[in-house]
Structure 1
Amino acid sequence: MTSYNPKPTQDLLVCTACGTQYPTADRSALKTCFICDDPRQYTPPSGQSFTTLAEIRQAGHKNTFTPYPDTNDKNQSEIISITTTPKLAIGQRAILIRTPVGNILWDCITLLDSDTFTQIQKLGGLHGIVISHPHYYSTHIGWAEAFDCPVYLSAEDAEWIADDPGSSSRSGSGRRVFLTETETAININGAETGLKAIKLGGHFPGSLVLLYNQSRRLFIADTLMSTPSGTANWSVNALGEQRNRPPGVNSFAFMWSIPNMIPLSAAEIVRMWGILRGYKFGSTHGAFLGSDIEDGNVKRRVLESMQIQIRSMGYTEHEFLRVTSLE
C-alpha cells in the first residue's frame, strides 16, 4: 500500500478522555465510554464527550516523530517515538522499533493521518503492532488496516475492545492476534525480530512489556510506571560535582489505577517480579516522551522500587524485602 485513505474511519466517534474509537458515528447512540467508566481511567470534570478523527485533524493536531536518542536523524535511530501535538486524550506515545527484519510499533495513538502514514512508509513501513493494555487500544484496527499488518493484544483483555465489548473471539477484520502465553516472540513472516512480548499483568490482567533482545531495551508502557525520581538526573549537584542517587528513592511505581492512584497489592508485585526476573535489560522506555531510563543497573532499580512500594504499604516484614538476587 502506498497511500492512506482516511475516509472509512474519519467520522467514527472517539472518546476525548482516552482516545478510544467506537464503531459508530451516531452521537445519540453513544453516551458514555465504558473504558473511562472503569476505575482505572476517568471521565474529566467537563464530562463525557466524543470527537472524530476528522475533527481532530481539522483542529490542527499533528504527529511528531522523535528519534531516540536525540540524533535529529530518524534514519539513524533504532527507536522513534510518535506523539500527537497538541496533546490528545491520555497523551501516550507509540514507539516505532526498527529491527533488522522490519518495523514493529509498540503501543498505539489515536491520530493516524496521511503525513504519519507517509513518514512511516519512508522508514520502512509497519509489519506489526503490539499494544500494552486497553487504555492504548485507541484506533488500532485503523492502523492495522492502513499498514496491512497484525495487531497483538493479550487474550485476557479482549473484553475491553470497544468495537465488540465483552467478546474474546472477535478477530478484528482478521488483524487481531490474541496472546495467550506469558512470552510470545514477535516475528515478521517467520523472521525473528528479537522482540518478545511478556505478559506481566498488574495494571490489567494481560498488561504487557516488550523486550528487544538485540539492545536489551524493555518497553514498559505503564505496566511499570516510570516515576519522576526514576528519570531524574542525580549525577551532579548544583556545583557540578559528581554524586550518586540518594538512597530510598524509587524509579518505578506499580499501579492498578494510575490516574486514581490505586496501587497494586504486595502479592501482585511479587508475582510480577517472578516473571520479570527471568529477563535481562539495560534500559526502560515508559508510556510518555522523556520517560526513558538508561542504566546498566535498571533491573536492580526495578527490584528496589518494588521493595520500596511494598515497605511503604506497611509490609515492613515481608519476605520479599530480603530478596537481593536479580536472577
Structure 2
Amino acid sequence: MEKSICITCGTQYPPSSQQPECCVICEEERQYVHPDGQQWTTLEDMQLSGTYTNEFIDEQSGLQSITTQPSFGIGQTAYLIEERGFRLLWDCIAYIDEKTVNDIKEEGGIDAIALSHPHYYTTQVEWAEAFECPIYIHEDDRQWVQRPSDRIIFWSGESLQISEGLVLYRLGGHFDGGAVLHWSKQSDNDAVLLTGDIIQVAAAREWVSFMYSYPNMIPLPAKAVKTIAEKLKPLAFGELYNAFHREVSGPADAAVQKSAERYIAALEGRLF
C-alpha cells in the first residue's frame, strides 16, 4: 500500500494498492496537468533518491522559511512562526524526512499547522503525525482534502485565533476558504501578514495581486478583490510574505489597499 504523491502539485493521496486515476487538484482549472501527463511518486521514493533536502532560512526573529531543494511540485515555501512559545507551521511542502523532523524538534517542534488553501495541503498529514499536532483548514475547502485525518480541524467563520498573536482570516478569492495568517509580534509593533498566494507579491515588490488561477492566468472579479481589501482594512501589518519567498516591506497594509484599487481600476477599464 503506497501513498501516491502527484509530481506536479505535491498532493499526497491515501494508502492504496493502485495509483489514483488522476490528481483531483491538478484536473481542476486553478491548477494543471503536466503536458507530459499525470505522474506519481511517493515520499519514500523521494527520500531514498537522495535528491531532495529542505533548506531553512531565518527570515527574521521568530520567522523561519522552509523550502525544498531542488524545487518540487509547485515549489512553494512554508514558514515556521514562533510567538510567545507557540510554534505554527504556515502552509506545507511535500518533502519531509528524518533530518527535517529532527532539526525542527531540536528547535522546539511544531504545535499546529495552518493552511492557506488546497494547493499546499501536500503531505500535511505526514507533518502532523511527525509532530503530533493538529491541522487547521477552513471548512469551505473541506472537499479538496484528498487524504483525510483525525488531526484535521475544519474551522468556520471569518477568523480563528490559533494562539496569542496568531490569527487566521478567511479572505476567499483564490479558493472559497482561502485564508491568511496575521502575526502580531509581542517583540515589536510591526505585525506580519502571511498570505500563501491568496495575495501574491508582484515583481515590483511594492505591489501585490490577486488571481483565481495563477498558472492559467484567470483573474478574480473586481467584487472579490474589493471584498478581500475590505476584510483586511482593519488589520495593520508592516510586512507581507507570500508562498514564493517574496516580501513586501513597510507599509505592506497600504500596499495591499493601493494594489486592490489598481486591480479593480484595470478590470473596469479605468486604469488605461
Q: CA deviation at 1:25?
A: 4.1
Residue 27 of structure 2 aligns to a residue whose secondary structure is coil
Contact 2:226 2:264 (8 Å CA) reproduced: no
> For the residues of structure 2 that align with 1:123 and 1:281, how far apart are their CA atoms?
26
After TM superposition, the structure 1 = structure 2 runs for residues 243-322 of structure 1, keeping only pairs within 5 Å, are: 251-289=207-245, 291-295=246-250, 297-316=251-270
Residue 260 of structure 1 aligns to a residue whose secondary structure is coil
Residue identity matched to 2:121: Y
Q: In the comparison of the two structures, how many residue pairs are matched?
A: 266
> For the residues of structure 1 that align with 2:106 and 2:87, how far apart are their CA atoms?
11
TM-score, normalised with respect to structure 1: 0.79
> For the residues of structure 1 that align with 2:225 and 2:140, how far apart are their CA atoms?
18
Q: CA deviation at 1:132?
A: 0.3
Contact 1:80 1:97 (8 Å CA) reproduced: yes
> For the residues of structure 2 that align with 1:258 and 1:67, how far apart are their CA atoms?
28
- 1:47 correspondence with 2:1: no
Give 1:89's aligned residue. Answer: 73
> For the residues of structure 1 that align with 2:242 and 2:225, how far apart are their CA atoms?
18
- 1:204 correspondence with 2:204: no
Contact 1:102 1:124 (8 Å CA) reproduced: no
Equivalent pairs: percent with the same residue?
36
Q: CA deviation at 1:316?
A: 2.3
Contact 2:113 2:136 (8 Å CA) reproduced: yes
> For the residues of structure 1 that align with 2:112 and 2:216, how far apart are their CA atoms?
32
Give 1:177's aligned residue. Answer: 153
2:84 pairs, out of 78, 100, 109, with 100
Q: Which residues of structure 1 form unaligned runs of 5+?
A: 1-8, 70-76, 165-171, 232-250, 318-327
> For the residues of structure 2 that align with 1:163 and 1:97, how far apart are their CA atoms?
25
Q: Larger Cα Rg: Structure 1 or Structure 2?
A: 1
> For the residues of structure 1 that align with 2:175 and 2:30, how far apart are their CA atoms?
9
Contact 1:67 1:80 (8 Å CA) reproduced: yes
Residue 153 of structure 1 aligns to a residue whose secondary structure is strand
Q: CA deviation at 1:142?
A: 1.2
What's the C-alpha RMSD, in Å, of the aligned pairs?
1.5
Contact 2:159 2:170 (8 Å CA) reproduced: yes
Give 1:68's aligned residue. Answer: 59
Residue 36 of structure 1 aligns to a residue whose secondary structure is helix
Contact 2:27 2:33 (8 Å CA) reproduced: yes
> For the residues of structure 2 that align with 1:110 and 1:201, how far apart are their CA atoms?
24
Residue identity matched to 1:252: V
Per-residue CA distance 1:67-103 (angstroms, 9 max, x = gap): 114xxxxxxx310000101101000011000112221
Contact 2:52 2:68 (8 Å CA) reproduced: yes
Structure 1 residue ranges (4+ consecutive) displaced by more than 2 angstroms after TM superposition: 24-27, 314-317
Residue identity matched to 2:59: Y
> For the residues of structure 2 that align with 1:163 and 1:106, how far apart are their CA atoms?
18
1:186 pairs, out of 162, 185, 192, with 162
- 1:122 correspondence with 2:106: yes
> For the residues of structure 1 that align with 2:268 and 2:232, how far apart are their CA atoms?
24
TM-score, normalised with respect to structure 2: 0.94
